[in-house]
Amino acid sequence: MSPDFSRRGFLVASLSASGGLLIGLAAPRARAAGPELAQDEVLPAPFAPNLFVAIERDGTTRITCHRSEMGQGVRASLPALIAAELGADLSRIAVVQAPGDAAYGDQNTDGSTSVRLHQDMLRQMGATARALLIAAAAAQWGVAAASLDTVDHAVVHAETGRSLPFGDLVAAAAALPVPDEAPLRSREALRERGIGGGLPFADARAFATGTATYGADPTLPDMRIAVIARPPALGAALESRDAAAALAVPGVESVHVLPAWKTPGRFMPLGGVAVVARSTWAAIQGRKALAPTWSAGPHGGVGSPAEWDGQRAQVDTSGKTFRKVGKADKALAKAAKTVTAVYTVPHLAHATMEPPAALVSVEPERVRVWAPVQAPQRTAAEVARTIGRKAHEVHVEVTFLGGGFGRKSKPDFVSEAAWLSQQIQAPVRVQWTREDDLQHGYYHANAVQRLDAGLDESGRVVAWRHRTAETSIISMFLGPVHGPTAMELGMGALDLPLDLPHVAIEGHTVDEHLRIGWMRSVANINHAFAIQCFVDELAQARGVSTPAQLKELIGPPRLLTKKEAGGKLPNYGVRLDRLPIDVGRWHACIDEVVARSGYGGDAGEGRAFGFAAHASFNTTVAVVVAVARTPAGLPRVDEAWVVAHPGSVLNLDRVKAQMEGAVVFGQSIAVHGEITYTDGIVDQSNYDSYPVVRMGEAPRAVHVHIIDEGLAPGGIGEPGVPPVAPAIANGWAALTGTRVRRLPIAKQRPG
């Protein structure tokens, strides 16, 4: 995406209340994604946002952050980039969280897009503000604008040593015409102002001291609390409930039957029975007293083993072709040797530390919302649809998110609160419990994948066939029975830069029995696990190192083209000429992580190395883990090395933190993560049955190295996750001799 900035794209106005300067930037909206991409639901459509800079007469500068903060540091990184172009003093910057409003453009904090798609526009905002302030000072001093710069919240004239603080210039700057184009600072100048290094993370104090406001924190006078008994199986109907018993619980005031869920569900609530009370405890006790009964529903009698068996049978047959180079089937049949393996990834849950919660007050003239959401505009639209109001009447205030991972971009929990507030004509906070979150969420798509490789007489791979039967996010929008789309297979399968004469990628249709939704890294988790474990198996069969085998498969450094790939390359919503699929980055990351970890040498007593690499969201990541065995006989990542090539870095501290967190997130997936269901009902209910990595299991050290070449930035929040699980599985195979083909490792099954 390369927005066409123009004078009409800028907004400049005097702030009537303060006499300050308000500067905003608007860029034209790009063409939306095609239907198969479900618009911007998984990968937000690449249109530009509006971010605003407000400078008061006293010099105080407010920068509005239009993206949601969930620990990734977006409220530090985005304003700092604008401030660096502006020449502002970060200590005089006040960061304002944007409410949900179309004026800000795309606010969906998903798909690793906050910097990846918006850096140029953010810089242009700061540069335009700088140009106006410099023009005002140049006119006052009678000097050339080119002789001036902005430093530490003032316009300075180096030749004479004069300076004027921003606050003294805002009135004059607001009256000036907006320049057609504002020059951007050089990369070196931005680095001198802290960009690319560690940036202050002001919100960290609020996080650490408990003063940050999360979804369950806002209150209103006369507010009620509601918890909901939801259908245990998707689409099950309510048959009975004991409302009298619930109302007998002290503090419970009312019981309400919510509208039933219908397919395709998109973001609508699941339905059920709500208990409204004066306190959370009373509401929970009232729900227990309800003793509801439910019909079996359309998914009754269906369970995970049967689903997996069906998918396993499918991948032994031909599916819909998504990528075809040469004649893979014939080449495999004629190969001197073939290697085949089948890999299974179960459904997974987001399991955010903060369960969903939302406060809504439905009022005659407006609807007020406080919620930890990743997509505030979508939230407003869904709330409006649920209660029959206009979207512009819904005002969404975004709180901090105690983890998101994609779950909180789906605002069903906010619509529940809105519907109940409308019913009782009072503010309502809907509170989900951990059990609610695990048993009634949106689940990461499971997958069964078969990989076949054909080797010639010399042992080189000449044919590659990848068949996958995986549930699809598209079912959330179009209804059940959908296989993977090009968008989903474009996450690690279609875009894998295989330098082979024969390649086939095929997908199978799968019945969905749970709500499928995107989770951090999306389909990359499935594809990276299967492909990188298979590469390890190929290397073992040939007697070569896994990094060498992977480099041989992907071929020499080059830029991958659609023609070479033999199929569509969605490329995460970005043109290939802006963020190319660069095989050179794979080689750089692989070589660097091998050198830093000592992979191929002695891993140490009781340890073994595992390696994997993957590219997603326009960033390439290679991982080496040193796997050890816990007393319980499970794999533990003792140490990890991560090398990432995102093109360029805005906030090095946050980038490293994201990679460190990705190792723990990926370890949870590899060792523990599994959602199963029986008779359509999810079996897991809390962290005892859906464990995540705890402190005692976490790596004692994660070494992160970032390759920054000053190129267009790729994503950061999601790319670190996919290679972690296969690296652990490969390390476990090296340590124990047991090959992992089905996750999680803690719950191995034969087959």
Work out the end-to-end distance of the chain between its first and last CA atoms, rounded to an integer number of angstroms. 45
pLDDT the model gives residue 22: 57
As a whole number of angstroms, the distance between CA 470 and CA 146 comes to 58
Q: Please work out, in degrees rounded to the nearest 5, the angle formed at the alpha carbon of residue 368 by the alpha carbons of 365 and 371.
A: 165
pLDDT at 44 over 50: no
- As a three-state string, the secondary structure of 190-242 is HHHCCCCCCCCCCHHHHHHHCCCCCCCCCCCCCCEEEEEECCCECCCCEEECC
Q: For 267-288, what is each residue's pLDDT tens digit? A: 999 999 999 999 999 999 999 9
- What is the pairing mode between strands 357-362 and 337-345? unpaired
Taking only the tens place, the pLDDT of each residue in 430-444 is: 999 999 999 999 999
Contact status, residue 320 vs residue 483, Cβ threshold 8 Å: yes
DSSP helix/strand/coil, 347: strand
Tokens of residue 638, six digits: 């003792």
- Dihedral sign for Cα atoms in the order 531, 532, 533, 534: positive
Q: How does residue 18 score in pLDDT terms, banded at 50, 70 and 90?
A: very low
Strand partners, 430: 226, 358
Sign of the C-alpha dihedral computed for residues 715, 721, 722 and 727 taken in this order: positive
Contact 136, 174 (CB under 8 A): no
Q: Is 674 helix (H, G, I), strand (E, B) or coil?
A: coil
The H helix count followed by the E strand count for the chain is 20, 28
Confidence of residue 118 (pLDDT cuts 50, 70, 90): confident
Is pLDDT of 478 > 80? yes
Q: What percent of the chain is modeled with pLDDT above 90?
A: 80
What pLDDT is recorded for position 30? 31
Residue 20 has pLDDT above 70, yes or no: no
Q: Can you tell me the mean pLDDT for 53-78?
A: 89
Which pLDDT value is given to residue 579? 92
Residues 511 and 302: their CA atoms lie apart, in Å, by 11
Q: Are the CB atoms for 190 and 196 separated by under 8 Å?
A: yes
Question: Per-residue pLDDT tens for 489-505?
Answer: 999 999 999 999 999 99
Whole-Å CA distances, 571 to 495, 507, 618, 703: 8, 19, 7, 28
Q: Phi first, then psi: what are they for 643, rounded to 5°?
A: -120, 125
For residue 648, pLDDT over 90 is answered with yes
pLDDT band at residue 52, thresholds of 50, 70 and 90? Answer: low
**How does residue 639 score in pLDDT terms, banded at 50, 70 and 90?**
very high
Give the pLDDT confidence score for residue 80 in this predicted structure. 93
Q: Are strands 635-647 and 701-708 parallel, antiparallel or unpaired?
A: parallel
pLDDT value for 1: 27
Is residue 25 scored above 60 in pLDDT? no
Q: Which of 586, 506, 512, 516 is nearest to 547 (CA)?
A: 586
Q: Which H/E stretch holds residue 77?
A: helix 74-86
Q: How does DSSP classify residue 554? A: H
Give the pLDDT score at 16.
Answer: 33
Average pLDDT, the chain: 91
pLDDT band at 39 (very low <50, low <70, confident <90, very high): very low
Cβ atoms 417, 360 nearer than 8 A: yes
Q: Per-residue pLDDT tens for 190-248? A: 999 999 999 988 899 999 999 999 999 999 999 999 999 999 999 999 999 999 999 99
Residue 29 has pLDDT above 50, yes or no: no
Give the C-alpha separation, 93 to 80, whole Å: 9
pLDDT tier for residue 10 given thresholds of 50, 70 and 90: very low
Mean pLDDT of 521-535: 98
Residue 51, pLDDT score: 53
Model confidence band, residue 21 (pLDDT cutoffs 50, 70, 90): low
Whether 117 shows a pLDDT value over 90: the answer reads no
What's the pLDDT score for residue 544?
97
Distance CA 689, CA 605 (A): 32
Predicted pLDDT at 119: 87
**153 — pLDDT class (breaks 50, 70, 90):** very high
Asked if 21 and 55 count as a contact pair (C-beta separation under 8 A), the reply is yes
392 Cβ contact partners less than 8 Å away, ≥ 6 residues apart? none
Mean pLDDT of 241-266: 97
Q: Is the pLDDT of residue 608 over 90?
A: yes
pLDDT surpassing 80 at residue 103: yes
Residue type, 301: G
Residue 227 gets the label, from left (phi > 0), alpha (psi -120 to 50) or beta, of beta
Identify which of 70, 95, 67, 66 has the alpha carbon closest to the alpha carbon of residue 80. Answer: 95
Tell me the average pLDDT across 628-647. 95
539 confidence band (pLDDT: 50, 70, 90): very high
Q: What is the chain's Cα-based Rg?
A: 27
Q: Note whether 467 and 527 are within 8 A (CB).
A: no
Residue 736: predicted pLDDT: 96
Nearest to residue 439, comparing CAs of 747, 686, 688, 673?
686
> Given this model, what pLDDT does residue 506 score?
97
In the numeric block, which tokens belong to residue 50? 């509006």
How much of the chain, in percent, has pLDDT values that exceed 70? 93
Q: Is 73 left (phi over 0), alpha (psi -120 to 50) or beta?
A: left
What's at 199, amino acid-wise? L
The full DSSP string for 139-151 is HHHT--GGGEEEE
Provide φ and ψ at 366, rounded to 5°. -160, 170
396 DSSP β-pair partners: 369
**Residue 56 has what pLDDT?**
86
Chain-centre distance for alpha carbon 63: 24
Residues 6 or more apart in contact with residue 168 via CB below 8 angstroms: none
Asked whether the beta carbons of 336 and 455 are under 8 A apart, the reply is: yes
pLDDT at 568: 80
